[in-house]
Amino acid sequence: MDDLTLRIRDLNLRFKSLFSDTAVLHGISLHIRRGERVALVGESGSGKSVTARIVLGTLQELKTSRISGTVEVMGRDLKKMTEKERYALRGRDISMIFQDPTSSLNPVFRIAELFHEVLKRRDPGISAAAARARAAQMLAQVSIHEPERALDSYAFQLSGGMNQRIMIAMALANEPALLLADEPGTALDVTVQAQTLELMREMVERNATSVLFISHNLGVVREFADRVYVIYKGRIVEHGTTEALFADPRHPYTRALMAAVPRLTGGGIPDVPEVSESFFDPMITHEGLREPEPTR
């Protein structure tokens, strides 16, 4: 089975400083195959973003982080790679989309300049003109009708939806194998978020890009993902196909999450007010699913 884009096995994370030692991830395992869209769902603070940062290799560089377990990207163990090799993955094999597109785009550089820098990750010698042509082509793919105007703008001159399209185009411009989408577009209004997610889905389907889709919005997850992992306080509590999980949520935490009424503001974040002992029940894996064995 060599079509594994991402495989995480028994990942533990602690933050250790002089005065504190906080465990954040307690042995999570997950995998994504080529072209699969896998969601990681859980409330705020459950450890979704840190997981993405470990896959990206940036958290490893933080002095306070203590990481154990294996993370394999396309069969290569991150721990066996040098910092330089991990760096080489970023922006080429792995790219990322963020919560708020407008604040994720540098305010003192034009879109064209940022796009040029992104494209240099794949092709270091690319000229500004060639980068511009490629960028315009990518922007057309995300249905931006006046790519030239967008390229000559700064992010603050464009709408949030426009910036999100630009972000998607940038993320996919180098044809990465894995896209990390950390609550993409949560800062946008609901209809714009839905439109841009639809666009993102078309793009990743076309390129068979694997996606780790991080969200705390179940409605969005249901629309977008093939498979779902539910995370609660640094533990995976339930794993199933989207269909199975929504038809038959089994873990008490998943049920509480689905029963909770999404707030209207803030992109439909469910509130799970009471904390129950049963939320710490053992993990439930739906039929037919299991974590794959190590590559070697």
Partner 1 sequence: MPPALRAVLGKLITTLIVLFGVSILIFCIARIIPGDPVRIALGPNASQDMVDALRAQMHLDAPLVTQYVYFLRDVLHGDFGMSLYSKRPVIADIAQFLPATLELMIVAGIIMVGVGLPMGILAARTRDRWPDHLVRVITLLGVSAPGFVWAVVLMLIFAYFVPIFPIAGRISNSFQIPQVTGFMLVDTLLAGNLAAFADAFRHIILPACALAVTGIGQSARLTRANMVETYRKPYAEMAQSYGFPAGRIARRYVFKPSLIPSLTVIGLDFASMLGGAFLVESVFAWPGLSRYGVNVILVKDLNGIVGTVLVIAATFLIMNIIVDLLVWWLNPRFRLGGRS
**Interaction between residue 15 and ligand ADP (CB under 6 A):** yes
Instruction: Pick between residue 41 and residue 119 the one whose CB is nearest to Mg ion.
Output: 41
- Total of residues contacting partner 1 (CB under 8 A): 29
Identify the residue among 32, 39, 54, 118 touching partner 1 (CB under 8 A).
118
DSSP string, 108-152: TS-HHHHHHHHHHTT-TT--HHHHHHHHHHHHHHTT-S-HHHHHT
Identify the residue among 49, 163, 164, 193 touching Mg ion (CB under 5 A).
49
Q: Which two tokens stand for residue 80?
A: 């066996």
**Interaction between residue 217 and Mg ion (CB under 5 A):** no
Which class for 247: exposed (0-12), middle (13-18), buried (19 or more C-beta within 10 A)? exposed
**Torsional sign, CA 272, 276, 277, 283:** negative
What, of partner 1, ligand ADP, Mg ion, none, does residue 108 touch, CB below 5 to 8 Å by kind? partner 1
The region of 84-92, 129-137, 190-198, 244-252 touching partner 1 under the rule CB under 8 A is 84-92
- Please state, in angstroms and as integers, the Cα–Cα distance from residue 248 to each residue in 195, 225, 232, 242, following that order: 28, 16, 18, 10
**Interaction between residue 65 and partner 1 (CB under 8 A):** no
How many angstroms separate the CA atoms of 200 and 210, rounded? 12
Residue ranges in 51-70 that form contacts with ligand ADP under rule CB under 6 A? 64
How many angstroms separate the CA atoms of 235 and 64, rounded? 21
Q: Give the residue closest to ligand ADP by C-beta.
A: 49
Residue tagged 């294996």 (tokens): 70
> Nearest-CA neighbor of 256 among 275, 238, 239?
275
CA triplet 151, 155, 161: central angle to 5 degrees?
A: 95
**Interaction between residue 47 and ligand ADP (CB under 6 A):** yes
How many angstroms separate the CA atoms of 140 and 188, rounded? 21
What, of Mg ion, partner 1, ligand ADP, none, does residue 47 touch, CB below 5 to 8 Å by kind? ligand ADP
The region of 43-51, 108-116, 130-138, 243-251 touching ligand ADP under the rule CB under 6 A is 43-51
**Interaction between residue 104 and partner 1 (CB under 8 A):** yes
Q: Are 227 and 221 in contact (CB under 8 A)?
A: no
What binding mask, one character per residue, do residues 64-103 give for ligand ADP by CB under 6 A, x or -?
A: x---------------------------------------
**Interaction between residue 215 and ligand ADP (CB under 6 A):** no
Q: Are 15 and 53 in contact (CB under 8 A)?
A: no
Residues that bind Mg ion (CB under 5 A): 49
Residues that bind partner 1 (CB under 8 A): 56, 58, 63, 87-92, 95-96, 98-100, 103-109, 117-118, 121, 154, 156-157, 159, 170
Residues that bind ligand ADP (CB under 6 A): 15, 22, 24, 42, 44-50, 64
